[in-house]
Homo-oligomer: A and B are copies of this chain.
Amino acid sequence: MNVDIFGYLAAILTTAAFLPQLLKTLKTKKADDVSLTTLIMFITGVLSWIIYGYAISSEPILIANLITLILNLLILISKLYFSKTLS
């Protein structure tokens, strides 16, 4: 059995995992329980993965982290937007 399947499964799951959080936030119009510090640290980390992936020319690292970056930026923007408009 090829172990790469676990690598691809891992990359897909840890990337797509943020879509339900985004949808939940847009649906409930709040994300007060979601840590702002976690979002900022995670987004900074994902940006570092993108720089690293670009530097070592790793397309999988680049693609997975670009999607993760977009999803988490949208979660961050939604959280901030809903906390401002509803307070």
Contacts and interface: CB of A to CB of B under 8 A. Distances in A.
Interface residues of A, number: 41
A86 interface: no
A85 interface: no
Nearest to A33: B33
A9 B30 CA distance: 30
Contact of A14 (B4, B25, B37, B49): B49
Q: Which of A23, A24, A35, A39 has the most CB of B within 10 A?
A: A35
Nearest to A51: B6
Interface of A: 3-4, 6-7, 9-21, 23-25, 28, 30-35, 37-39, 41-42, 44-46, 48-49, 51-52, 55-56
